[in-house]
Amino acid sequence: MKVLGNLSNLAGKYFALIVIVFSVLAFMVPSLFTSFGAYITILLGVVMFGMGLTLKASDFKLVFTNPIPVLIGLIAQFSIMPTIAFIIAYLLQLPPELAAGLVLLGSVPGGTSSNVMVFLAKGNVPLSITMTSVSTLMAPIMTPFLILIFAGQWLPVDPIAMFTSIIQVIIIPIILGLLVSKFLPTVTKKSESVLPLISIVAITIIVSAIVANNKENIATAGILVFVAVLLHNAFGLLLGYYAAKALKLSPQDQRAISIEVGMQNSGLGVALASAYFTPLAALPSAFASAWQVITGTFLASYWAKNEVPADTAAQSKSKQHRNALRDVKDSSK
């Protein structure tokens, strides 16, 4: 188990590189990965089950003790990202499938790897975890609703079927994870160090399968998709930060909200795009899986070298130190 734990830490450190390498391999030799396309939903369910294993009641504490930053972050999450996706798709005149896929990416909740980035950036880790957890639980309602509004002009959207799928793929696995954590705490504790590795393997297979099954589309539209995803991620990070800053939240809250808004649950985006749109529509989420980890890492490294003001840091230092190590170990993509 210790060896697996060390391997998990190593994989987490080089997650973006792993995804890029396997994506290139899938593009060069698609036959190695095409068959995994049928298991995308199951693999995402495994990732969400792992998230459920790591959730604690304390992850939702801020909703009641300090709701304003959480509320600001969630409003930014579900307003900035789909709106920016729609604008980019319109300005770049993306084909209908790619436009809908980009909007879908902007409509899913935050990804759990954002928690690690916020910790590295010396941001408000409890706020990051709360935002990820709450936005994920809101996904069955918010994601189909936003896709219907912003993407319905490009492709047919069935919000009821999408709602059902998100319940099956996201909520049920999370609930099962919570139940296992509650009734089998010893087993859960022993598996904590391996959970990030399982999630990384699952996400890597998902992205590789999408690339393998879209080789021709990537060859013709790859640059366009990359530019769209790059702009979407950059504006998400930037506008998330300045939204929190404009509302006079603390520097730590600004960092957390920026990263939470800019980093999406790309695995859910891939699964929903594959199920309800076309394989081509899954490309933005597949590209984002690697790109947002790269930008998140660079941004976290930059902020880590720039301490928040001493008075702000003192207010939350003890609280974060108590919880940050546990939260980061539990986080996974």
pLDDT at 242: 95
pLDDT of residue 308: 63
**What values do phi and psi take at 122, rounded to 5?**
60, 40
Q: Collect all residues with Cβ–Cβ distance below 8 Å to 62 and sequence separation of at least 6.
A: 69, 70, 126, 127, 130
Greater confidence, 96 or 182?
Answer: 96
**Which residues are bridge partners to 110 per DSSP?**
264
- pLDDT reported for residue 211: 83
Task: Render pLDDT for 26-61 as a digit per residue (tens, 0 to 9).
Answer: 889 999 988 888 888 888 888 888 878 877 777 777
Mean pLDDT of 97-111: 92
pLDDT in tens, 266-287: 888 888 888 888 878 888 988 8
> pLDDT at residue 321 above 50?
no
Determine the pLDDT at residue 304.
84
pLDDT value for 143: 93
- pLDDT over 60 (residue 217): yes
What pLDDT is stored for residue 233 in this prediction? 95
Tens of pLDDT, residues 108-153: 998 877 887 888 788 888 898 889 889 989 999 999 999 999 988 8
> What share of residues in the chain are helix, strand, coil (percent, to 5)?
85, 0, 15
pLDDT recorded at residue 302: 87
Q: Could you tell me which of 240, 256, 263 has the C-alpha nearest to residue 62?
A: 256
Q: Which residue has the higher pLDDT, 211 or 96?
A: 96
What is the pLDDT at residue 310?
45
Mean pLDDT of the chain: 83
Q: Nearest-CA neighbor of 153 among 103, 109, 221, 81?
A: 103
Query: How sure is the predictor about 332, in pLDDT bands with cuts at 50, 70 and 90?
Result: very low
- Give the pLDDT confidence score for residue 296 in this predicted structure: 85
What is the rounded CA–CA span in Å between residue 69 and residue 73?
Answer: 6
**Residue 329: per-residue pLDDT:** 47
CB atoms within 10 A of CB 163: 16
Rounded average pLDDT over 219-223: 80
| Model pLDDT for residues 144-190, shown as the tens digit of each residue | 999 999 988 888 888 899 899 889 888 898 889 888 888 888 877 87
* Beta-bridge partners for 264: 110
Give pLDDT tens digits for 284-302.
988 888 788 888 888 888 8
